[in-house]
Amino acid sequence: MTDTLANADSETPNHQTVRVDLGRRSYDIVIGRDVLETAGIRIAALKPGARAAIITDETVGKLHLDRFRDILNAAGIQSVALTIPAGEASKRFEMFERLCDEVLAARMERGDIVLALGGGVVGDLSGFVAASVRRGMSFIQVPTTLLAQVDSSVGGKTGINSRHGKNLIGAFYQPDLVLCDTSILDTLPLRDFRAGYAEVAKYGLLGDADFFSWLESNWKAVFAGGTERDEAVARSCQAKADVVAEDEQEAGRRALLNLGHTFGHALESAVAYETERLVHGEGVAIGMMLAHEFSRRLDLLPQEGVDRVEHHLLDVGLPTKISDIPGQMPPAETLMDIIAQDKKVSRGNLTFILTRGIGSAFVEKGVDPILVRDFLTEKLAS
């Protein structure tokens, strides 16, 4: 096995590995162009003799499933493929039940693998299936969107949506391996790439001013697909891995990763998750702007900081204002209701991620809801 893996690594010298350090649940994220080609030997080395239930969606399946199964097959890994409809609507109970049932029908055992081939929806849903079937099977992720590579595939948050809100049912469950093939992103629609990029920028904004500066200079190369893209994915994964290793269950510091997300989720919910109007990363982009503007309102950072964020998000083509969302938005009171039902609420106080400048975000647990409502009222009118 060691020989085979050594070969894989010597043939692919440009692949980077980020280690997520969680004790005996630690795992590697392998990042680079054509990482997919090494999937078979890497998985066979990690889980000798295991079979795989590949969960993918119709869109990704058409593009990558046959090739991927060939790669697994060449390494002696038997697989079954379970395909779900593309889109957020698949993150629901019926689909969770169907997939659990199909994995069991394929006679998968506890040591076998649930393998997510797709974006965040496929990853979140598959992870909850992997966590739940036989109280925990092996789980491997092959994220095929930038968003999934830098966000959903790191940190073990899995789950489905409820009619009460997004991601309200799920598990903390760590994968055994994540393979981020950055060349797969070449076929990603520009809008989806941009949306994922919002999360990349977030890692700079929340804790790494140097990375944000680097992105200001190099974002075009990241979009074009050079080694800068690999670098951006690796630094993002490393940033998230560092936070998650410190705080796996989101008791404290991990909340920083929610920069832009409380506002962003409220906006997504307000448009009923209609992706024609708003996708997650766009909500995060607007949410990050709102978090910086709200922090400015509280005199926490200078206007120059807010301007730099806006300038960069506009450069890459991301929305920055609530009014960038097509169609009518609900009043501030409705957004506040959504925020109150958000899982980042603790006993009635609002928790927000605020910032003292680029790379200096912090968790503020006692934010006055009145201030937020007034701020949103004003932003909705502008």
Torsion over CA: 316, 321, 327, 332 (sign): positive
Phi, psi dihedral angles at 87 (to 5 degrees): 115, 155
Q: How far apart are CA 54 and CA 108, in angstroms?
A: 12
Query: What mask, x for binding a second copy by CB under 8 A, covers residues 232 to 261?
Result: -----------------x------------
- Smallest distance, a second copy to C-beta of residue 160, A: 9
- Tell me which residue of 102, 119, 106 sits closest to 79, measured CA to CA: 106
Q: Annotate each residue in 181-200 with x if it binds a second copy (CB under 8 A) or - if it does not, as one string.
A: --------------------
Q: Which of 17, 19, 21, 136 binds a second copy (CB under 8 A)?
A: 136
User: Which residue is it, tokens 């509280």?
Assistant: 298
Q: Which stretch binds a second copy (CB under 8 A): 1-9, 126-134, 270-278, 323-331?
A: 126-134
Q: Which of 191, 343, 356, 365 binds a second copy (CB under 8 A)?
A: 343
Angstrom distance (rounded) from CA 338 to CA 332? 10
Instruction: Indicate which residue of 157, 166, 194, 379 is catalytic.
Output: 157
Least Å from the CB of residue 104 to a second copy: 4
Q: How many residues line the site for a second copy (CB under 8 A)?
A: 36
User: Which residues, numbered 279-338, are part of the site for a second copy (CB under 8 A)?
Assistant: none
Instruction: Give the closest residue to 298 by CA, choosing from 242, 374, 226, 236.
Output: 374
Q: Could you tell me which residues come within 8 angstroms of residue 191 by beta carbon, excluding any fewer than 6 positions away?
A: 279
Residues 215 and 368: beta-carbon distance below 8 Å: no
Q: Does position 87 bind a second copy by CB under 8 A?
A: no
Residue range at the interface with a second copy (CB under 8 A); choices 30-38, 52-60, 127-135, 139-147: 127-135
**From the CB of 350, what's the least distance to a second copy, in Å?**
12
Q: Which residues contact 184 (CB under 8 A, 6 or more apart)?
A: 36, 64, 144
SS3 of 194-223: the string is HHHHHHHHHHHHHHCHHHHHHHHHHHHHHH
157 is catalytic: yes
Catalytic pick from 254, 292, 296, 379? 254
Q: Does the footprint of a second copy cover residue 365 (CB under 8 A)?
A: no
Asked if residue 49 binds a second copy (CB under 8 A), the reply is yes
Q: Select from 2, 272, 347, 382 the one that contacts a second copy (CB under 8 A).
A: 347
Beta carbons of 57 and 90 less than 8 angstroms apart: yes
List the Cα angle 20/239/227 in 5-degree steps: 95
Residue number with CB closer to a second copy (1 or 345) = 345
CB contact at 8 A, 176 and 210 = no
Asked if 163 is an active-site residue, the reply is no
- Answer for which of 58, 59, 165, 373 binds a second copy (CB under 8 A) is 165
Residue 220 catalytic?
Answer: no
- Is there a catalytic annotation at residue 379? no
The answer to the question of residue 131 lying near a second copy (CB under 8 A) is yes
- Please state the closest distance from residue 41 (CB atom) to a second copy, in A: 20
Structural contact between residues 36 and 184, judged by C-beta atoms closer than 8 angstroms: yes
Question: Does residue 134 belong to the site contacting a second copy (CB under 8 A)?
Answer: yes
End-to-end CA distance of the chain: 61
List b or e across 85-114, with b for residues whose CB sees 16 or more CB atoms inside 10 angstroms.
Answer: ebebebbeeebbeebbebbeeeebeeebbb
Which two tokens mark 101?
A: 């049932």
Known catalytic residues are 135, 157, 199, 240, 250, 254, 258, 261, 265, 280
Where do contacts with a second copy occur on this chain (CB under 8 A)?
49, 93, 97, 100-101, 104-105, 107, 109-111, 131-136, 157-159, 162-165, 167-172, 249, 341, 343, 345-347
